[in-house]
Structures are given as structure tokens and as C-alpha cells.
Amino acid sequence: MSKITIDTNTSRAHPNPAPGKRMTVPKIRSMKRGEGIAMEPLVMLTAYTTRMAQLIDRHCDMILVGDSLGNVIYGLDSTVPVTLDMMIAHGAAVVRGSWHAQVTVDMPFGSYEQSPEQAFASASRILKETGASAVKLEGGEAMAETIHFLNSRGVPVIGHVGLTPQAINVLGSYRARGRDDAEADKVMKDAKAVADAGAFCLVIEGVMEDIATDITRSVPIPTIGIGASAECDGQVLVTEDMLGLFERVPRFVKKYHDLADQISAAVEEYANEVRSNSFPREEQMYRPKT
């Protein structure tokens, strides 16, 4: 008699086991570094397409489907015009292309600010239609009630304080925040309010280094820095920025490659071969078998 072994790691939806286990919200929340805690910093990058998710997934703890797709994919001047439908379409593509990293989708401007109820309607659509496990929203004390409302109803939330790009029309510029005592105090209060409201993680963007360090040491949840501090519990960058696909990037970006030049050179070579009739060659064409 043959013995049948049931793999309890699979489900009806996925009868074949994945290469590994996906990072979960509770796992991310537990990765708060501190005195006596030898925890590696969290690695987060953005992705907007299935293919990019496939390429970065195994290296990341978290993938953010950021509303920065408005700038990177659609050529918009700011993230303000990004829609909920855009975020859902790209979020679903990224989830399909990943199996390891925890995936969070940004809530776009206008989809959550009106009321906690509006935020829940938008967030529930995101989770249902993308398969992501969390949403991210911008704002501090003003959004605390909404974060608590979402969290208590089964929607994990990542907060975002400091430089909040969706508020560019109020801020007036993308300069670093916290340059004076009043502004520094506000960023700190915003961070604590978000943590107290139940966010499981906190993005700190574009703030003076000492403020980001103080926040990281003051809140009980992991902090993810972008133009913040090396003392944050993790770091995030826009993937296309760090790959060198754009000439102009924020000061806090390190270019780890120069893909723009490589792509341009490859396209130039292709164009030259087409114009000289040296492409396609025999190996790229279909001919009858002899």
C-alpha cells in the first residue's frame, strides 16, 4: 500500500507549494531593532509591474507599490493625480510577480482623507482586488483616527510622516522637513500618533537625520527611512532611481547601476542594425524545414 503525504503548506488556490513563505505583517512588526536585538534592517523597494516584482522579490522583505508610479510610469508632475484604479491595477500585477516579500499598496490622494469610512471602502478594495496584505497612507495626527479605524477592522496600515508628497500643494516644495523646532516637534508628534493608532510600520521621508533617529528610538514599531537616517529599522528607495533609469534623482538616492545608458546603447545598436539590414539574421527568422 502506498503512503500519501498531504502538504499542509498548500491550499485550494495554490496546490503547488511556493518556493518559500511570504513575509507577513506580524513578522514585519516584530522586526523592530533595539538594544540587545540583533535584527537585520528591513529591505524595501518599490515595484509597479510583475516583471520588476519578480526581479527584486527574493532580495526584499517588503515591496511597496507606491503612488510614485504616477511619476515613474505615467510621467505625472506629482502623485496627486494618481487614482485608486491605477493603484489596484499595479498592485495586483506586483502581487502576481512575488512570493516572498510582504506587499503594501499606497492609498492615493483623495481615497482616504474624507473619513475613516471612505478610507475603509478604498482599503478593502485594494486588499480584495490586489491580494496585497497592507496599505500605506500619508499623514500624522490628522490620520490617527483613520489608522485606528482601519486597523481595528482588519486592514494593516503603514504610516508615512515627514515629507508627504501628496501634500505638495500645501508644502510648496520637496525640501527636507524638521529644519526648525516647531516643524521637528510636529514630525515627532505625527510619528507617535501614527504608532499609537495601530500602524504596524512607519515610513519616515525627507526629514533631518537627528529627528528620524529620535523617532526610531521613540516608537515601538519598525521605521523605514527614505532620506532620513541610517538608524531607521529599514530603508526604501524607488527602484528605478537606484537602478539609474533617471538622470535627476533626490539627494538621498544612491545609484547602484546606470541602466539608462545601457538601455540607450542597446537601442542604438538595434537601430543601427535595422537601418543597415543586418537584423534580423537567419537565426531570427522562420524558414521551411528541409
136 is in an annotated binding site: yes
Secondary structure of the chain as H, E, C letters: CCCCCCCCCCCCCCCCCCCCCCCCHHHHHCCCCECCECCCCEEEEECCCHHHHHHHHHHCCEEEECCCHHHHCCCCCCCCCCCHHHHHHHHHHHHHCCCCCEEEEECCCCCCCCCHHHHHHHHHHHHHHHCCCEEECCECHHHHHHHHHHHCCCCCEEEEEECCHHHHHHHCCCCCECCCHHHHHHHHHHHHHHHHHCCCEEEEECECHHHHHHHHHHCCCCEEEECCCCCCCEEEECHHHHCCCCCCCCCCCCCCCCHHHHHHHHHHHHHHHHHCCCCCCHHHCCCCCC
77 is in an annotated binding site: no
21 is in an annotated binding site: no
185 is in an annotated binding site: no
Annotated catalytic residue, options 40, 113, 145, 205:
205
205 as an active site residue: the answer is: yes
192 is in an annotated binding site: no
Annotated binding site: 67-68, 106, 136, 138
List the catalytic residues: 205
Annotated binding site for 3-methyl-2-oxobutanoate: 67-68, 106, 136
Annotated binding site for Mg(2+): 67, 106, 138
